[in-house]
Amino acid sequence: MKIKQLGYLSAALLLTLSACGNEGNNNDENGDDEEIVVIPVEATTVSRGDISAYYSNTATLEAEQEALVVAKVRGIINQVLVEEGDRVKAGQVIARIEDEQYRIEAERAKSNMDRLYNDFKRSKELYDKQAISVEEYQNKQFEYEAQKSAYELAKLNQEYTSIKSPISGVISERLIKKGNMIGTDQNVYRVTDFDPLQAILYVPEHEMAKINKNQPAEIKVDALPGQSFKAHVERISPIVDPTTGTFKVTVVIDEKSDKLKPGMFGRVKIVYDTRLSTKMIPKVAVMSEDETQTVFVVRDSLAYKKIIKTGYVNGSNIEILEGLEDGEVVVTTGQGSLKDSAKVNVVRS
């Protein structure tokens, strides 16, 4: 009997020790589950700077001055003096029409004018002597003056055989060839003045209060990525088009550049307000949910969620109106996986 009791006690002791060992393993596993996870993030501090609000739109660049040169008389082109790309001055001869016929007509008109002038002089002498009537004297005067006008017209037509540029600029299109027969008012050249270039915007009427004359602007063109050009608002139409609900705004480019050409597609920004030394952060730090904007602020290696109120957006920065103070550290990358009071490690700022 004693031997059997000892056997039972030994078995009970072994079971007890085994149970104690299992409890120790369970405690270790629970300890692993309670380890704190540290999330790596990138962050930056709230800074101050100038930020602007702007109205943006797109437009095609145009030359403020452009002229289609037309022939004023009919004839055959016998000289083409300029080509596309050539720079010309106002009044410069750019082509010539055969002028022999017009020269002969001018000479004949002058000859007739001279003859009638002599007749008029004689009639005046006779009139002064009261040898002819007033009516006869006036008829001679009218004949002379009419022929004088005919001569001046013939001389003008002869001058028109020299086709001149009405403005200074660059020949952007040649529409004639030597030997072409052209008629009166036929287009022969297009002359474009590249200075200045302008962009015509059609702005919705609800933006009218924001746009004013001489406001600074910036223009970028798709053909020249990474480059921007200074401009300003030159003119604002005082009326709104009732069919489109827009008004016309003319923006003139201030910077001179041979790279900009009429017809280029441009993106225009008109600055209508600037706030100086205002609080700002990178706009990538801001999270939006419904109408609420929030950021994560880092303090003592913990990330706290804060509601903020924002203002203007300019480039990569956004203005902070409420919710943040100068120097606070906000998460810019990795905030999507954060919860309030999460442990973080700022890997770059």
Q: HEC states along 218-262?
A: EEEECCCCCCCEEEEEEEECCCCECCCCEEEEEEEECCCCCCCCC
Q: Which CATH superfamily is domain 99-160 in?
A: Helix hairpin bin (1.10.287.470)
Average pLDDT over residues 27-47: 74
Confidence of residue 246 (pLDDT cuts 50, 70, 90): very high
The 8-class DSSP code of residue 290 comes to T
Task: List phi, psi (to 5°) of 61.
Answer: -65, 140
Distance (Å, rounded) from C-alpha 44 to C-alpha 183? 72
pLDDT of residue 8: 37
For residue 249, the Cα-to-chain-centroid distance in whole angstroms is 12
| Rounded CA separation 155/109 (Å) | 9
Mean pLDDT confidence for 134-158: 95
Structure tokens at 18: 């085994």
Comparing CA positions, the residue from 272, 273, 339, 283 lying closest to residue 308 is 283
Greater confidence (243 vs 336) lies with 243
The CA distance from 314 to 56, in Å, is 12
Among the listed ranges 18-22, 228-232, 269-273, 330-334, which one has the minimum average pLDDT value? 18-22
Cα separation, 145 vs 181, whole angstroms: 34
In the predicted structure, residue 12 carries a pLDDT above the cut 90: no
With cut-offs at 50, 70 and 90, classify the pLDDT of residue 37: confident
Q: What end-to-end distance do the CA atoms of the chain give, in Å? A: 79
pLDDT at 25 over 50: no
Where does the pLDDT of residue 160 fall: very low under 50, low under 70, confident under 90, or very high at 90 and above? very high
Pick 30 or 234 by higher pLDDT. 234
Site of tokens 């109106």: 321
Strand pairing partners for 272? none
Q: Per-residue pLDDT averaged across 156-179, rounded?
A: 95
Which pLDDT band, with edges at 50, 70 and 90, does 7 fall under?
very low
Please give the pLDDT value at position 196.
87
Give the residue from 153, 155, 124 showing the smallest Cα distance to 140. 124
Catalogue the E-assigned strands of 31-140. 39-45, 47-70, 75-80, 87-88, 93-97
pLDDT at 13: 33
Spatial CA neighbour of 165 closest among 252, 248, 66: 66
User: What is the arithmetic mean of pLDDT over 97-102?
Assistant: 96
* Res 164: pLDDT: 96
| 263 vs 19: which has the higher pLDDT | 263
Q: Tokens for 238, please give them.
A: 């005082």
| pLDDT for res 4 | 41
More confident residue, 12 or 125: 125
**One-letter amino acid identity for 91?**
G
Name the average pLDDT for the chain.
88
Global confidence as pTM: 0.64
**Please, which pLDDT band fits residue 29 given cuts at 50, 70 and 90?**
very low
**d(C-alpha 273, C-alpha 210), whole Å:** 8
Mean pLDDT value of segment 295-316: 92
Under 8 Å between Cβ of 231 and 176: no
Q: pLDDT category, 138, cuts 50, 70, 90?
A: very high
* Strands of the sheet with 93-97, listed across from one edge: 162-164, 93-97, 75-80, 181-182
The rounded distance, in Å, linking the Cα atoms of 336 and 127 is 108
pLDDT computed for residue 237 by the predictor = 95
Could you tell me how far CA 134 lies from the centroid of its own chain? 71
Residue 123: per-residue pLDDT: 93
Distance, CA of 24 to CA of 121 (rounded, Å): 141
309: enclosing H helix or E strand: strand 302-314
Q: Using a pLDDT cut of 90, give the percent of the chain over it.
A: 74
Given a cut of 90, is residue 282 above it in pLDDT?
yes
SS3 call for 178: coil
Provide mean pLDDT across the span 332-346.
90
Class of domain 39-51+276-348 (CATH, top level)? mainly beta
Domain residue extents for the chain: 39-51+276-348, 55-63+194-274, 99-160
Amino acid 135: pLDDT: 92
Distance (Å, whole) CA 273 – CA 175? 47
Q: Is the confidence at residue 230, as pLDDT, over 70?
A: yes
Question: What's the rounded mean pLDDT across residues 319-334?
Answer: 93
Asked, colleague to colleague, whether 55-63+194-274 and 99-160 share their fold, the answer is no
Residue 74 confidence (pLDDT) above 50:
yes
Residues 6+ apart with CB under 8 A from 153: 109
Which of the following CATH numbers is that of domain 55-63+194-274: 3.90.420.10, 2.40.30.170, 2.50.20.10, 3.90.1170.20? 2.40.30.170
Q: Which pLDDT score, from 0 to 100, does residue 34 have?
A: 55
